[in-house]
Amino acid sequence: MNQYSYDEIDIGHKESFEVTITEKMLDSFKSITGDCNPLHADAGYAKSEGYEGRVAYGMLTASFMSTLAGVYIPGERSLIKESKIKFAKPVYPGETISVEGEVTDKNETFHMIVLKVTMKNEKGEKVLRGSMDVMIRQAK
């Protein structure tokens, strides 16, 4: 886990990681949220609707924005204030997604950074675009 302070982060700073989406993640997300929508739970239904199989919950894919802020940038002292998410393409279990955050702005008054978030599949296609306003908590 990174521990960047506000001053250690410059505009243009990038952090990234990869994650493979699994059926188990979809099952766990369903257990947490109670979202039993068959597009995510039932491969047969999803196929009959024109998809390759169970579609990952958009908000599950978006959950890796939590990891991006809380582990990578800024890491420990992260506090997400706001996030905006656009879902561009379906994500399927078995796919490996790259998650990248780039600092596009800083606000000294609020000790806040703005992260542009891009997630891509193995074909290089964007599956999610977003942004986050992340406060960097000061040490007590």
Binding site for its own copies (CB under 8 A): 1, 19, 25, 28-29, 31-40, 48-50, 57-60, 62-67, 70-71, 75-76, 78-87, 137, 140
Single-letter amino acid, residue 43: A
- β-sheet bridge partners, residue 14: 102
Please say which residue, 13 or 30, places its beta carbon nearer to its own copies. 30
DSSP string, 63-90: THHHHIIIIISSBTTEEEEEEEEEE-S-
Q: Kindly state the smallest distance separating residue 130's Cβ from its own copies, in Å.
A: 9
Q: Kindly state the smallest distance separating residue 23's Cβ from its own copies, in Å.
A: 12
Q: In a 3-state reduction of DSSP, which class is residue 131?
A: strand
Q: Kindly state the smallest distance separating residue 3's Cβ from its own copies, in Å.
A: 11
Please say which residue, 62 or 106, places its beta carbon nearer to its own copies. 62
Q: Kindly state the smallest distance separating residue 108's Cβ from its own copies, in Å.
A: 21
- β-sheet bridge partners, residue 131: 84, 116
Contact 133, 73 (CB under 8 A): no
Please say which residue, 11 or 47, places its beta carbon nearer to its own copies. 47
The two structure tokens encoding residue 73: 């940038």
Please say which residue, 1 or 12, places its beta carbon nearer to its own copies. 1
* Residue the block writes with tokens 């188990």: 24
